[in-house]
Structure 1
Amino acid sequence: MLDFSFFTWEVFKAYVLSGLYFSFILTIVATAGGIFFGTILAMMRLSGIKALEIPATFYVNGMRSIPLLMVLLWFFLLVPFIIGRPIGAELTAVITFIAFEAAYFSEIMRAGIQSIPRGQVHAGQAVGMTYGQNMKLVILPQAFRNMLPILLTQTIILFQDTSLVYIITAHDLLHGFTVAGSNLSRTRESYILAAVLYFVICFTLSALVKRLNKKIAIIR
């Protein structure tokens, strides 16, 4: 029989809170880094310069063809072997997530940039703007606004994916529930509570994104 009475505020603070904090921090950092590098990759792919377009395309397609779990394990196991010292599970998670998510955010940003009418690009060129200035002042602000709901949806997916860092022993939200269940002999209850908390967080964020999407549609 399931018994959830063990899960008190003290248990939450002792086992889960730090893992929840790390999951949120990893999500925020990976989102910021992923959008930054993803935007650069998108601009490289749209630059029309083969020396930039080819490696960016290879990177994006390559990353999108490999499971995130595999990338995590490769980085966690191979990089310390190459450099001769461990780099830690948390740092591994941060670097891997930024590198992996950059490929997905790149495709979102590329679609956003391409959604801007070409007339605005030509107008910027007509007044003497360089490619970089045109992107910075005209194209990217509009692309970010158009893609904001999709970017936030990808961030929610990213938060769900943070549970994968459990495989490299990083202390995330799932790891906190796992340790609590193991130490308090309530394994089944802990995993059920973890699923409920993930659902509540993701459902709430999805509802907020839906409302934001409606407001953006009205502005348009």
Structure 2
Amino acid sequence: MMTGLSIITDNLDYLLWGRMATGEPGGVLLTLLMALGAAAIALPGGIGLASLAWRFPGIVRKALFAWAELIRGIPLIFVIFWMWYLLPLITGGDLPGALTVTMALAWFTTATVMHSVLAGLSALPTGQYEAALTQGFSTQQTLWRILLPQVLRNISPSLVGIFISLLKDTSLAFIVNVPELTTVAGQVNNRVQIYPAAIFIFTGVVYYLLCCSLEQFAKRWRLNRPAL
């Protein structure tokens, strides 16, 4: 048992930071960077697309739904593969692996956020929109100042679930050898070749703690935020 723990302590820096000293973040740090980067793209992107679908219920909404259903109907692992091979062709050069995976995660998550936000908008009483128009608000002002603040508060549990899934989905970066937590855990296991259970139990515990921390932070933010 103690030897198994020593495997973790001897490689803890690498599991947490990767090769940060040489400018190559990895492990838990890279996992968080990719999750935060994807969330920073997916949240405003999903809100923006949901707003378009709400504002234009005709062909625009149908096109956005078709795009979202296509993305959500494909396993994320294939989206990562496609991004891995297609982005260099589009940009004309190689991109960092972590950036490629972050873009794939963001693209996939944006579709889910869009559906969640649009469902929240559809659930609001239509009288609010009509009342705002009679008070002189434009459609855009009504959406951004009145409707979306309510929606984001109402669907915050759903958004937390989406971003917890996003955090766990960063582990799929191992398929293209991006050195996030799962990848470096595998590298440590391949190098030492003993006590794999200790290494991967530690990895699972780290993911659990990260997801629980995100959930607790969201709960505290929701409780401390003033009611609208």
Q: TM-score range by the shorter chain?
A: 0.7 to 0.9
**What is the aligned length?**
218
Unaligned runs of at least 5 residues, structure 2: 18-25
Task: Give the match for residue 74 of structure 2.
Answer: 66
**Secondary structure at 1:20 match in 2:** helix
Task: Give the match for residue 163 of structure 1.
Answer: 171
Task: Give the match for residue 193 of structure 1.
Answer: 202
- Write out aligned runs for 1:196-215 (5 A): 196-209=205-218, 215=223
Q: Deviations over 1:36-62 (max 9, x none)?
A: 111111112212353422221111111
Select which of 147, 151, 154 maps to 2:159: 151
* 1:219 shift after superposition: 5.2
Verify the 8 A CA contact 2:7 2:199 in the aligned structure 1: no
Q: Cα RMSD between the aligned structures?
A: 2.4
Verify the 8 A CA contact 2:84 2:100 in the aligned structure 1: yes
* 1:208 shift after superposition: 4.8
Letter in 2 for 1:206: E
CA–CA distance in structure 1, aligned partners of residues 56 and 89 of structure 2: 38
Q: Deviations over 1:168-220 (max 9, x none)?
A: 1111111121122222223343122211221232234335545666x38x958
Verify the 8 A CA contact 1:16 1:177 in the aligned structure 2: no
TM-score of the two chains, using structure 1 as the length reference: 0.88
Unaligned runs of at least 5 residues, structure 1: none
Aligned-residue sequence identity (percent) comes to 24
- Write out aligned runs for 1:1-220 (5 A): 3-8=4-9, 10-17=10-17, 18-186=26-194, 187-209=196-218, 215=223
CA–CA distance in structure 2, aligned partners of residues 60 and 162 of structure 1: 20
Once the two structures are overlaid, the 10-residue window that deviates more, 30-39 or 124-133, is 124-133
TM-score of the two chains, using structure 2 as the length reference: 0.85
* 1:82 shift after superposition: 4.9
Q: Deviations over 1:109-136 (max 9, x none)?
A: 1122122221111111112322211111
